[in-house]
Amino acid sequence: MSSEVATATTQGHTHRDDAGTKLGMWLFLFTELILFGGLFIIYAVYRFSHGAEFELAANELDRLVGTVNTIILLTSSLTVAMSITAIQEGKKNLTLLLVGMTVVLAFAFLLNKYFEWDHKIVAGIYPGSPDLINKPQGVILYFGLYYVMTGLHALHVIIGMVVLVVMMFFVKNGTIHKGSFVRLEAGALYWHLVDIIWIFLFPLFYLLH
């Protein structure tokens, strides 16, 4: 059986290693864990040493905006997960619709984030601002981490959007189809990671009391 498969692969088709592709994607996701993990450790240490000031600073954030953005990202994870089922069933248009919805939700998340940052910056809270410099050390650290961590996350959202749009082109031109969809799976894995990082950012920045 296995030799039959081997000959079939070498004869009629270009070589493909879906398991390897997926494993490679997972290994990349682990490097992302190290990237964000370092920042989470810095957050943990400063929250430990400046707990009260972190809570004071967190009051400046709008809990509702954070909650809405959490729901948006969770829903985008749902649509991209469902797109895998759609492509497995060979439903091309449904796949395009679901991945398209994911991209739209990602854009909504960024729009929300933009207004949130804009609101803060207009209020004079941004790294190095005269208003912020005079605040307690813990508040300065909190907003420094807030901008770096949500900013790096937003960058991942943008990259994820680009990846998913490329996947839509692949679905449209038939590169991704019922018999070969590992690219879409890899793109979806990346998107779920972006969701997981937000699952931790949300309570750590928005839900301190």
CB 112 within 8 A of CB 118: no
Catalog residues that contact another protein under the rule CB under 8 A: 2, 4-5, 8-9, 11-13, 16-19, 22-23, 26, 30, 33-34, 37, 40-41, 44-45, 47-49, 63, 67, 70-71, 74-75, 77-78, 81-82, 84-85, 88-89, 179, 182, 185, 188-189, 192, 195-196, 199-200, 202-204, 207-209
Minimum separation from the CB atom of position 178 to another protein (A): 9
Minimum separation from the CB atom of position 154 to another protein (A): 19
Nearer to another protein by Cβ, of 18 and 131: the residue is 18
> Which residue is it, tokens 């309570």?
203
Residues in the chain: 209
Nearer to another protein by Cβ, of 11 and 134: the residue is 11
Taking Cα atoms as reference points, which of 153, 148, 150 lies closest to residue 127?
148
CB 80 within 8 A of CB 99: yes
Q: For residues 143 and 161, give the distance between their C-alpha atoms in angstroms, rounded to a whole number.
A: 26
Nearer to another protein by Cβ, of 79 and 161: the residue is 79
Minimum separation from the CB atom of position 74 to another protein (A): 5
Q: For residues 88 and 185, give the distance between their C-alpha atoms in angstroms, rounded to a whole number.
A: 11
Minimum separation from the CB atom of position 68 to another protein (A): 10
- Cα separation values, 39 from 26, 63, 132, 189, 195, Å: 20, 22, 21, 22, 17
Nearer to another protein by Cβ, of 104 and 126: the residue is 104
Minimum separation from the CB atom of position 97 to another protein (A): 13
